[in-house]
């Protein structure tokens, strides 16, 4: 059966269960700190490449969301320890940077016919992508790949960039697998109090315990004639299955205790 993607999937992307209980917001904050500390170095390096001081970078947002898909012109890098990063520079900005990087005598942005991205533009984007990735992990730990990021919740970083008169954006997507890797690479292991809080929260979570106490078999024509107030006899089940959702936990049997019916759990799950 073909799965049809709905608006619900876009609104509520999948959370990788392996991230549950891990300090993912700490990872987000630490990445924000790393980028903030590196902005000056990144800016200086790119200014040297394009031979212009009229270049600025600012962080707009770092949010947990499903990585953006459909950016076929984006650069994807894979970390040696697992996980991928996706780097995309908006077309007008990339053209403006490439014109200066390759010492173009004229600006291609002045003509719509010249605004088609070229192989040279993509090579510069690769260079930029490797530069930004090296801020997160050492450069020799990244390799280019053609794989697509998963639809699990990851980190999406939006940067506003200006190059002289041109404004644009850089989007960096980090998948959930790389988030797990960064907990080790950056040293963000779950601390004890987070584990304790998660355990306490899990232990206090209310669940619905389901059991079937009786059964009744009736012809369909009799079922269709049932109405409020009808009374009919029932047969108690000798061994009642007890479950949480679809998970069968154990069996039990009904007995009378202190004038009321109670359910006693059997000593064996199979009886």
CATH number of the domain residue 172 falls in: 3.40.1550.10
Residue 80 lies in a domain: yes
The answer to whether the pTM exceeds 0.85 is: no
pLDDT value of residue 200: 76
Alpha helices in 20-118, H assignment, sequence order: 24-50, 91-101
Domain boundaries, position 113: 8-198
Q: In whole angstroms, give the CA distance from residue 223 to residue 158.
A: 60
Residue 185 lies in a domain: yes
The full length of the chain comes to 271
Per-residue pLDDT of the chain (271 residues; tens, 9 = 90+): 343 444 444 444 444 545 554 556 778 888 899 999 999 999 999 999 999 999 999 999 998 877 655 455 789 999 998 899 999 999 999 999 999 999 988 888 877 766 788 999 999 999 999 999 999 989 999 999 988 887 777 889 999 999 999 999 999 999 888 888 887 766 655 445 555 666 777 788 888 888 888 888 889 998 899 999 988 888 778 888 888 888 888 888 888 888 888 888 887 766 6
Q: In whole angstroms, give the CA distance from residue 144 to residue 159.
A: 22
Are the CB atoms for 190 and 23 separated by under 8 Å?
yes
Residues 179 and 236 in one domain: no
Residues 105 and 231 in one domain: no
Beta bridge partners of 61: 158
Contacts of 170 (CB under 8 A, 6+ apart): 57, 87, 88, 89, 90, 93, 128, 132, 158, 159, 161
Locate tokens 């669940």: which residue? Answer: 207
Q: In whole angstroms, give the CA distance from residue 217 to residue 150.
A: 48
The total of structural domains in the chain comes to 2
């Amino acid at each position: 059966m073909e799965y049809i993607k709905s608006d619900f999937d876009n609104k509520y992307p999948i959370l990788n269960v392996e991230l549950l209980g891990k300090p993912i917001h700490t990872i987000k904050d630490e990445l924000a700190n790393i980028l903030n500390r590196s902005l000056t170095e990144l800016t200086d390096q790119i200014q040297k490449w394009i031979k212009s001081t009229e270049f600025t970078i600012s962080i707009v947002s770092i949010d947990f969301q499903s990585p953006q898909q459909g950016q076929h012109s984006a650069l994807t890098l894979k970390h040696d320890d697992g996980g991928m990063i996706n780097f995309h520079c908006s077309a007008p900005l990339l053209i403006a940077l490439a014109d200066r990087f390759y010492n173009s005598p004229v600006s291609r942005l002045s003509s719509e016919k010249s605004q088609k991205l070229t192989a040279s533009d993509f090579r510069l984007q690769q260079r930029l992508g490797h530069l930004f990735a090296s801020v997160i992990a050492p450069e020799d730990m990244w390799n280019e790949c053609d794989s697509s990021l998963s639809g699990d919740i990851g980190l999406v970083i939006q940067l506003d960039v200006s190059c002289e008169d041109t404004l644009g954006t850089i989007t960096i997507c980090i998948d959930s697998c790389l988030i797990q890797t960064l907990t080790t690479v950056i040293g963000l292991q779950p601390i004890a109090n987070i584990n304790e809080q998660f355990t306490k929260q899990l232990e206090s979570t209310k669940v619905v315990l389901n059991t079937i106490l009786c059964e009744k078999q009736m012809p369909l024509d009799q079922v269709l004639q049932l109405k409020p107030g009808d009374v009919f006899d029932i047969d108690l089940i000798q061994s009642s299955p007890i479950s949480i959702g679809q998970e069968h936990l154990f069996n039990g049997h009904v007995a009378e205790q202190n004038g009321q019916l109670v359910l006693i759990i059997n000593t064996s799950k199979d009886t």
